[in-house]
C-alpha cells in the first residue's frame, strides 16, 4: 500500500474530547455539547493535511439506551456543524458493544483503528490518537500510532495512575483539543 507521507492522520475519541462527556451517555443530539475550542481544533487539523477520524466506544447502543439511528443522527449533526465552520471529520468508527461482549473493536483494543487502516492509506507510525482516558492511550499504543495525546479532564490523576500501572505514557498531555492540535502542528513543523 502506498502511503501519502504528507498526511498525518489524527484519531479522536469523541466524548470528553470533542464534546462534553456524561455519565448518562449522549443519547440524542439535544444532549450533545461541543467543548470550547474543539471545532476550531478540528478545522486547524483538517485544513493542514491532518485528516481527522473519530474512534469511539458507544455501548449505549447495546445497553438499549439509544438506537443506531440516533447515533448516526448525532454524528451527522456533529459533522455538519464542524463543516459549517470550515473543518472536516473524514470518518467515524464506533463500537456499540458492552465491555463484557469482549469484541475486538472496543477500546482499549485497537480494532476500530485497524478498520480505519483497511479503509484508508494511513501510515500508522505517523498517526496520532487523542483521548481523555487510559483506554485511548492504550489503544493508540496497541495499534502502533506514532503519538498518543491525553486530554486533561477531572479524571486526569486516576487516568495517569492507570497508565502508570500499565507502564504506558502519553507523548503529550494537553489542556484541551485545541492545545493538542497546536502540539501536532508544532511537531509537524519540527519534522519537516
Q: Which helix or strand (DSSP H or E) is residue 46 part of?
A: helix 38-46
The pTM assigned to this predicted structure is 0.94
Instruction: Give the SS3 label for residue 19.
Output: strand
Confidence (pLDDT) at 191? 56
6, 15, 161, 171: the catalytic one is 15
The C-alpha angle with vertex 144 and arms to 54 and 38, in degrees rounded to 5, equals: 30
Q: What is each CA distance from 59 to 17, 75, 76, 137, 188, in whole angstroms?
A: 17, 15, 19, 19, 34
The C-alpha angle with vertex 142 and arms to 174 and 63, in degrees rounded to 5, equals: 80
Confidence (pLDDT) at 2? 40
13, 21, 132, 136: the catalytic one is 13
15 is known as an active-site residue: yes
φ/ψ region of 144 (left if φ > 0, alpha if ψ in -120 to 50, else beta) reads: left
Q: Mean pLDDT over all residues of the chain?
A: 93
69 is known as an active-site residue: no
* Segment 37-67, tens digit of pLDDT: 999 999 999 999 999 999 999 999 999 999 9
Confidence (pLDDT) at 150? 98
Question: Could you give the CA distance from residue 112 to residue 147 in angstroms, rounded to a whole number?
Answer: 17
Domain ranges for the chain, please list them.
10-191
Percent of the chain with pLDDT over 90: 90
Percent of the chain with pLDDT over 70: 95
Confidence (pLDDT) at 148? 98
Q: Right CATH number for 10-191 from 3.40.50.1000, 3.30.70.141, 3.10.20.30, 3.40.50.720?
A: 3.40.50.1000
Confidence tier at 1 by pLDDT (50, 70, 90): very low
Amino acid at each position: 500500500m502506498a502511503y501519502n507521507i504528507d498526511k498525518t492522520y489524527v484519531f479522536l475519541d469523541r466524548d470528553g474530547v470533542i464534546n462534553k462527556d456524561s455519565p448518562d451517555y449522549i443519547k440524542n443530539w439535544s444532549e450533545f455539547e461541543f467543548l470550547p475550542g474543539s471545532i476550531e481544533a478540528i478545522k486547524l487539523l483538517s485544513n493542514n493535511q491532518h485528516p481527522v477520524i473519530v474512534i469511539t466506544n458507544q455501548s449505549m447502543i447495546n445497553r438499549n439506551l439509544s438506537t443506531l439511528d440516533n447515533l448516526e443522527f448525532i454524528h451527522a449533526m456533529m459533522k455538519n456543524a464542524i463543516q459549517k465552520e470550515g473543518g472536516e471529520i473524514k470518518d467515524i468508527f464506533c463500537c456499540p458493544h458492552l465491555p463484557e461482549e469482549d469484541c475486538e473493536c472496543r477500546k482499549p483494543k485497537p480494532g476500530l483503528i485497524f478498520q480505519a487502516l483497511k479503509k484508508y492509506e494511513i501510515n500508522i507510525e505517523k498517526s496520532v490518537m487523542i483521548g481523555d482516558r487510559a483506554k485511548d492511550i492504550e489503544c493508540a499504543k496497541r495499534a502502533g500510532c506514532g503519538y498518543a495525546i491525553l486530554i486533561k479532564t477531572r479524571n486526569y490523576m486516576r487516568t495517569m495512575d492507570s497508565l502508570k500501572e500499565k507502564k504506558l505514557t502519553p507523548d503529550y498531555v494537553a489542556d484541551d483539543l485545541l492545545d493538542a492540535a497546536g502540539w501536532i502542528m508544532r511537531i509537524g513543523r519540527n519534522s519537516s
